[in-house]
A and B are shown apart, each in its own frame.
Chain A
Amino acid sequence: MANHLFLPLVSLMIGAALAVLFGRQRWLARGIVVGSVLFHLVYSLRLLWVVAEHGRQVSQAGGWLAPFGITFVADGASAIMLAVASLLTLMTVLYSFASLDEGYERYFYYPLLLLLLLGVSGAFMTGDLFNLYVWFEVLLLASFGLITLGGTRAQLEGGLKYVVLNLFGSIAFLIGCGLVYGVVGTLNMAHIAERMQTIQQPGIMTAIACVFLFAFGSKAAILPLFFWLPTSYHTPPVAVTAIFSGLLTKVGAYSLYRLLGTVMQNELIHLAPWILTIAWLTMLVGVFGAMAQMNVRRILSFHIVSQIGYSVMGLGLASSLGLAAGLLFTAHVMIVKTALFFIGGAAEQIYGTGDIKKMGGLARREPALAIFWFLGIISLAGLPPMSGFFGKLALLQAGVTQGAWLVTSVATLTGILTLFSMLKIWNEVFWKKSYADVSKLPRVSPGLLLPGALLVIVSLALGLGASVLVDYTTVAGMQLFDQAGYIQSVCGLDGCEAVFQTAIR
């Protein structure tokens, strides 16, 4: 029993409530926000260590036993995701201090950020399918607020598309929950996994798995369902886009990992060829979409789609090796993508526009910004010594080992195309001579530069110390794919059915 698993969630909830209550005292509210995110970060770093040392951590809310109450489970995958998510939120809070005007603060921008992290962390740790749905709603509601805060026409337009298409995903998710409950009669993930092994009609479970693939796929922005992302992500302030790119689509990918990788493994093996096809199509369409764009954040938005293809590839390989590689890649891309949004956003703030044709000459003017951008794109494209290299290497190794040649070769090609499209931004924004006089532009403040730079340094450090990370994700991948172990740690050695039968007798 690990009763402390609720602490990070409670700290965020209390932090958000207090930040609303003390919204008038600006510095006090800011202190509360930073404090609760810091607590979350310290806790999740400690959780990384605890999980590595003692295996899965399980907590039952209110002391109700597993198939009845709400279970929280933290294994390697959740611990990594939790740590990265809180690191990104902390950086976003710092970036927002420097980049947003006070109006946002008055309309509860920081409490909404905390609620977003609350929903995301809940989704990473919950062991109950319906509870997962609730956490998704928490994070979606917070993101609806964040994306429309400011109320410009473009934001409302993008926000409308975002809300409507996400609601479709939520409805599919809810339908899937209902179907699962109708077929196996439980919503606890471990119990679902256990009862699915004895189910009479296997066809219905495949159908349910497809419903969930649609639901989480639309949140994660996989191929036919990604169109809401590039039309909405460039409209809100940079800090919001950055944290969305780091957290939202990745929660969808993580939920696919958890549900298909742990709970519905048999279906994952059925669907694997289709998932791999979706993966390489997503990679290609995303990167080609990025080539046609001429706006910094739009280019980066299409790359989010392309990178999700890699995460889905890890899932489609349907093995602990593939899941481990996918986790490694996802953790890396969350960090780097957010860093690139921060740095690109800083460049955008200097010029007052995101149109790369009108920008230029920043390499001379802001060498520090240019260096970190360059390291960031190297990491995204997957060149050593950055973390991106090891993320892609692990995926390609897993692909080659399992003979998935098509997806592996497309993944390699996409890496080259990514570098090409990132170099377009490098050439236009940083390298080429500016048409206007650069010396009159405002300088970039340390508050705008530091969060992105720090994340790039983290990526570099993860690349240099890759062996630790690779070892950790290998264990996490094995834990994720170990269905029997999952059931045993949640419900005890005899499994959930035994607990259930004893209780109803």
Chain B
Amino acid sequence: MYESVILRTVARVMMPLLLLLAAFMLLRGHNLPGGGFIGGLLASAAIIMQIIAFGPTFARKVIRVGYLNMAAFGVFFGAFWGLPALFFNLPYMDAFWINDPIPGIGKIGTPVLFDVGVFLAVIGVTTRVALLLAEEPELFPMYVQAETEELS
């Protein structure tokens, strides 16, 4: 946690913007720069900014998600959408697309759904790692105590 009015104000403003940008990146990603991985990193940046500005407890309270389950679900979801091709005797991961693009979202097909899986997995893993690092003093209080005693 970092007590700074500037950082907290910026974090508050940036969170919805970053999440929107993440969704935008995710959806444009299949044929243009972007995609599930980059979108996921942007979304987790939004959450990690909350962790830095307001502390891990607050961040957990604002977005109540089990990040590990989210990552696992992402892996499942991504792996799953390669499977339909097998039923049509095509190689794994062969793509299916709908014919007409949905206005505002664009063309949807199995690669986009795969990207959603990657998106969830990346958010889950990076945020979980950041949370563990931020919560380390709370999870292992005795080490920190021993160290501060040594220092003083």
Task: Show the binding face of A for B, using Cβ within 8 Å.
Answer: 1, 3-7, 10, 13-14, 16-18, 20-21, 59-63
Contact = CB atoms under 8 A, between A and B. Distances in A.
A63 B79 contact: no
Given A4-B86, A14-B80, A20 B91 contact: no
Nearest to A111: B72
A343 B90 CA distance: 45
A1 B91 contact: yes
A13 B77 CA distance: 10
Nearest to A18: B76
A63 B72 contact: no
B92 A59 contact: yes
Given A20-B69, A21-B69, A6 B76 contact: no
B66 to A, nearest CB: 9
A10 B83 contact: yes
B89 interface: yes
Nearest to A5: B92
B75 interface: yes
16 contacts: A1-B91, A3-B85, A3-B89, A3-B92, A6-B91, A6-B93, A7-B92, A10-B83, A10-B92, A13-B75, A14-B79, A18-B76, A20-B68, A20-B71, A20-B72, A62-B94
Contacts of A6: 82, 86, 91-93
Contact of B72 (A4, A7, A21, A59): A21
B63 to A, nearest CB: 19
A149 to B, nearest CB: 15
A17 B94 CA distance: 22
A106 to B, nearest CB: 12
A3 B93 contact: no
Given A4-B86, A21-B73, A10 B91 contact: no
B14 interface: no
Nearest to A62: B93
B52 interface: no
Contacts of B82: 6, 10
B134 interface: no
